[in-house]
C-alpha cells in the first residue's frame, strides 16, 4: 500500500479522524507517532480497533520510517509533553517532529492541524526546507465549509452547489462574499435581484453566526476536511479550498489562508486573488497582523 501517512499529535479531531477511517475502512496505512515507547490506553484501544478494518491499517510507533511517508498530519502535542515543555511546547513540538522527519529522509507533504496554524506553517517551512507546495494548514477551510452549509440550509438546497470562501487566518477571518457562488451564480448578484427570496439580512445573519457554528461542530467539520484532503492527495480528487500556505507580502514570506488547488502535487496557488475594495482593505490588515506575529515569533 502506497498511501502511507503519519499522525503526530493527540487532538480529539485527529482521534475522531482515525475512528472514522476505521469505520469507513479507508484504503490508507496510518502510523501514529509516539514519543514514549509505551502508548497510552487510548492509543492502544484505537490500534486494536483498527484490526476490524480490512483495508485501513493503524500502527503506533516511536520509530517511524519517515522516508516512506507521503503525508504528516501535525497536531497538538501529547499532554505529558506539554507538561514537560511548558508554554513553548507547541513550538518545540513542531520543531521536534520536523527535525526528526527531515533527518530521516522525509520528502512528503505536511498538513498542520493546530491552532494558529499560520505560525506553524511558516515555522514548518523554515525548519524543513521543503518546497512551499508541500506544507499547508487547514486554515479557514472548516469555516468555509460551515458558511456553505449555512447558505445551503437557508436556501434548502444542500451545500454541494455552493462555493464560499472564508479568508485570512483562523484567528482573524472574514467571509469573501464577493467570491461566493451558488451553482455558478454570484451570491451578491442573487441578493441584488428584486424578486430574490435570499436578501442581505440572510448574509448578515450567516456572517454573525458562522464562527460560533463551527465551534459547536469543530471536531466533525475538521474530520470532513481531513477526508477531503486525503482524497485529494491520495486518490486523485483535486479540490479548490482555502488552506493556510506561504505567500509573499511586503517583500517577506508569511502564511495565510486563501483559495488554492490541492492535489497529489500539493498546493497550487491561484492567480491573483480578486476581492472587493472593502475585502481587500480587510485582508491587508490581516496580512499586516500576521507579519507582526511572525516577527515576534522569530525573536523567540
Q: pLDDT per residue over 55-89, tens digit each?
A: 999 999 999 999 999 999 999 998 888 888 877 89
Long-range CB pairs of 173-177 (<8 Å, 24+ gap) are 173/140, 173/143, 173/211, 173/257, 173/286, 174/279, 174/282, 174/283, 174/286, 175/147, 175/206, 175/207, 175/210, 176/275, 176/276, 176/279, 177/203, 177/276, 177/279
Q: What pTM does this model have?
A: 0.94
pLDDT, averaged in runs of 10, over the chain (300 residues): 89 96 97 88 93 96 95 94 84 95 97 97 96 98 95 81 94 95 87 74 91 94 97 95 97 97 94 91 98 89
| pLDDT the model gives residue 199 | 80
Report the first-to-last Cα separation within the chain, whole angstroms: 41
Q: Which residues lie below 8 Å from residue 89, measured CB to CB, with a gap of 6+?
A: 77, 81, 82
Fold held by 141-299 = L-2-Hydroxyisocaproate Dehydrogenase; Chain A, domain 2 (3.90.110)
Domain residue limits, the chain: 4-107, 141-299
Q: What CA–CA distances, in Å, run from 103 to 65, 77, 97, 128?
A: 11, 20, 10, 9
| pLDDT the model gives residue 196 | 65
Q: What CA–CA distances, in Å, run from 160 to 140, 145, 157, 267?
A: 18, 10, 8, 22
The closest alpha carbon to 227, from 4, 21, 6, 11, belongs to 21
| pLDDT the model gives residue 13 | 96
| pLDDT the model gives residue 194 | 63
| pLDDT the model gives residue 39 | 82
Pick the CATH number of 4-107 from 3.30.450, 3.40.50, 1.10.10, 2.40.30: 3.40.50
Amino acid at each position: 500500500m502506497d498511501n502511507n501517512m503519519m499522525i503526530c499529535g493527540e487532538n480529539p479531531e485527529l482521534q475522531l479522524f482515525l475512528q472514522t477511517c476505521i469505520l469507513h475502512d479507508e484504503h490508507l496505512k496510518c502510523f501514529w507517532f509516539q514519543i514514549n515507547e509505551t502508548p497510552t490506553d487510548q492509543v492502544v484501544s484505537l490500534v486494536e480497533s483498527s484490526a476490524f478494518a480490512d483495508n485501513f491499517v493503524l500502527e503506533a510507533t516511536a520509530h517511524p520510517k519517515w522516508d516512506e511517508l507521503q503525508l504528516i498530519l501535525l497536531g497538538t502535542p501529547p499532554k505529558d509533553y506539554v507538561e514537560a515543555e511548558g508554554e513553548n511546547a507547541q513550538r518545540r513540538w513542531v520543531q521536534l517532529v520536523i527535525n526528526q522527519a527531515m533527518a530521516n529522509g522525509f520528502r512528503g507533504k505536511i498538513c498542520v492541524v493546530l491552532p494558529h496554524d499560520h505560525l506553524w506553517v511558516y515555522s514548518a517551512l523554515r525548519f524543513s526546507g521543503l518546497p512551499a507546495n508541500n506544507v499547508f494548514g487547514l486554515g479557514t477551510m472548516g469555516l468555509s465549509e460551515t458558511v456553505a452549509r449555512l447558505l445551503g440550509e437557508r436556501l434548502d438546497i444542500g451545500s454541494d452547489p455552493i462555493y464560499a470562501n472564508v479568508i485570512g487566518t483562523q484567528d482573524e477571518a472574514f467571509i469573501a462574499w464577493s467570491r461566493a457562488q451558488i451553482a455558478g451564480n454570484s451570491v451578491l448578484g442573487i441578493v441584488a435581484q428584486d424578486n430574490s427570496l435570499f436578501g442581505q439580512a440572510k448574509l448578515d445573519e450567516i456572517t454573525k453566526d458562522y464562527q460560533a457554528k463551527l465551534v459547536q461542530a469543530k471536531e466533525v467539520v475538521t474530520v470532513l476536511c481531513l477526508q477531503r484532503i486525503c482524497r485529494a492527495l491520495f486518490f486523485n480528487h483535486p479540490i479548490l479550498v482555502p488552506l493556510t500556505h506561504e505567500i509573499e507580502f511586503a517583500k517577506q514570506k508569511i502564511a495565510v489562508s486563501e483559495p488554492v488547488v490541492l492535489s497529489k502535487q500539493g498546493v497550487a496557488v491561484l492567480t491573483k486573488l480578486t476581492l472587493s475594495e472593502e475585502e481587500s482593505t480587510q485582508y491587508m490588515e490581516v496580512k499586516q497582523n500576521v507579519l507582526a506575529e511572525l516577527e515576534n515569533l522569530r525573536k523567540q
